[in-house]
Amino acid sequence: MAVEGTAARAAAVTLIGAVLDERVSLGQISEMNNGPLATLSPSDRARAQRLAAMTLRHLEQADRVLEPHLRKGPPRAVRNALRLGVVEMAIDGAAAHGVVNALVDVIRHGKRTGHLAGLVNAVLRKAAGAEAPFADMPPQRLPRWLRQPLVQLWGRDVVTAIEAVQALPPPLDLSFRADVPAIDGGVTLETGSLRFAGPVQVSSLPGYDTGAWWVQDAAAALAVRLLAPAPGETVLDLCAAPGGKTMQLAAAGAEVTALDISGPRLKRLHENLARTGLTATVVTADVLHWRPETLFDAVLLDAPCSATGTIRRHPDLPFVKDGLEIAGLVALQAQMIDRALGFVKPGGRLVFCTCSLLPEEGEAQLQAALARHPTLSVEQPDIPGVDPCWLAKGGGLRLRPDYWADKGGMDGFFMARLRLPA
């Protein structure tokens, strides 16, 4: 008979291994029909994902705790099980006996690890004796390819503050069809989003069944507020899936066309529109080749990017990326900006945004666009709740994870509104 919690922990160990060894993201794994989560119950599936993400947030600290207890490196699956156990006890405060028994069971039934069950038992019991094992350790550092340029840009104190925010589980932010209602446990942020600090079962919140709201980071929601759509305006949402910004635009009364190259991702957009009762014209196409029948009053381009601003929500990202893709992404973003400008009516506006911390995907990308299109003008944001320190030199908004650190932070973004000549 399996020990309680074994299935979820076994899956979590597999998830950690896939991220670290195969450089497959947790999101990709969750969508696999035959992946390690496929046969789990919904509760075990959610638990496995949470445990894996939590372990990846604290991998450095776990290795420091384990180092004195390991004479030589065990197989990767065993090491990942040990990491999971240390993190679960340290962060969750989980009872040692339950964690140890479950992970010993996981290793005992592994194809090539059964003989190391005793090692796992001994090491985790020793680790369990440490009180607050991570208390005197710094937060997990960003990978060198990302940390180094950010230190040069903002200094070590800022980067350390970003890392501290990324070490915490992110809050849940909601955007709404209409006025923000009062929901127990939620706090309305200065910019209008509703935030829940603790673990929340999304489907149990009031308004879920009626589609009154959708999950969307507070920083991401600012892109539509920067665009400032008016009722009846025609708006094109490029790279639209899974649809958070599309729903914001529709809720504002705009006539929305939502375009994305990915059919599977657009399926989620259709599902979100159906749940919220909002409408948009959905198009599956490549923005670099698509031609609209008419021009739009406004265009929103949330361009593909390194996603380095979303590590607080995706702790696997530093382990699956190495920065080598950035040059290609920068070139693609420039192409998309030039293409998107061709979809805008004279006198209309384009909001360009990326969920990246790197200036080459933000501030520098904006300056390059202005150099290519000298008739464009950058309009300063006028959004309620925006702190003046968020305003970027040269125009736009530079959002960082350490902003609102006392409230749980925010995703890192760059966004700017460009006005075409009339």
By annotation, the residues acting in catalysis are 355
Distance CA(115)–CA(103), nearest Å, equals 13
Distance CA(56)–CA(54), nearest Å, equals 5
Distance CA(380)–CA(370), nearest Å, equals 15
Neighbours of 132 (CB within 10 A): 8
Cα dist from 406 to 161, 197, 280, 356, whole Å = 11, 11, 37, 22
Give which of 40, 80, 146, 206 is closest to 360, Cα–Cα. Answer: 146
Place of tokens 């180094």: 148
Sign of CA dihedral 173, 179, 182, 187: positive
Half-sphere CA count of 218, side-chain side, radius 13 A: 28
**Contact between residue 211 and residue 224 where contact means Cβ atoms under 8 Å apart:** no
**Contact between residue 334 and residue 365 where contact means Cβ atoms under 8 Å apart:** yes
Distance CA(225)–CA(10), nearest Å, equals 43
Neighbours of 275 (CB within 10 A): 16
**Contact between residue 360 and residue 326 where contact means Cβ atoms under 8 Å apart:** yes
In one-letter notation, the amino acid at residue 149 is: P
**Contact between residue 362 and residue 368 where contact means Cβ atoms under 8 Å apart:** no
Neighbours of 326 (CB within 10 A): 19
Query: Which residues are CB-neighbours of 76 under 8 A, at least 6 positions away?
Result: 17, 20, 21
Give which of 185, 188, 182 is closest to 198, Cα–Cα. Answer: 185
Distance CA(419)–CA(351), nearest Å, equals 9
In the three-class reduction of DSSP (H, G, I as helix; E, B as strand; rest coil), residue 317 is classed as helix
Distance CA(105)–CA(108), nearest Å, equals 5
